[in-house]
Structure 1
Amino acid sequence: MTHHQLTDEATPLAPTHQLTLRFSGTRRGARLARRLAVQQLTDWTALPYDSDPARAVALVTAELASNAIRHGSLPGRDFRLVLFLLPDRYRIEVTDTRAERLPPPVAPQPAD
């Protein structure tokens, strides 16, 4: 974990909280990312650790981290986990740290 960012913006589509961290591109890194994503959700929302939303966050984070390690990382490179708490949802982003392969930025879309 090398970078931490927390914001308290109150605009409708802006995150109320944001956290960005880097993990080693290993199974241990993926496990730590999954556990931290759930812990952060429970800290930000006061939901129980064993709630359905927390289980969903664990599952999604594990899958995304596993994909980043398996398909996008090179030996010795990390992957990045970004968590957003938005007014109406929790967003999880996982990317490898290969700058030449970062996706283009996407503007948040209003929920239907």
Structure 2
Amino acid sequence: MPYSTINVVAVEIPGPAHHHEAIAAAIRASYAGPNTVRGAFLLAEHAITATWPVRPTDLLCLTFRQFHETVVHHYFADLVRQSLAVDADFACIDEVASSLRTALLYADDLMGRKHSR
């Protein structure tokens, strides 16, 4: 009788609840193992920290904690998805941080900003 196997990775998904479904989908799509998944969460967090000194000028009024919370609220799933795409390779932190900075520059939903494109 033929049979099939299924691989299951059990990880705790950090971040806001509204990102959990997107993060779970990214994990399933990546076929990453538990170490890579944990590394992706860490890479996402470190990319936020790396973006802090080069954040857009209208975010300069935020403390680091406020900045971190704002970014996590709006972009955590995207950061984790990108971190998984680079296999949680910390050599790619500049790439992930650069993508975040670009998103922040053009975001209309942060700090009541409106940009003309």
Is the strand fraction higher in 1 or 2? 1
Q: Which has the higher helix share?
A: 2
Calculate the TM-score normalised by the size of structure 2: 0.35
Where relative contact order (Cα < 8 A, 6+ residues apart) is larger, the structure is: 2
Instruction: Tell me which structure has the larger Cα radius of gyration.
Output: 2
TM-score, with length taken from structure 1: 0.36
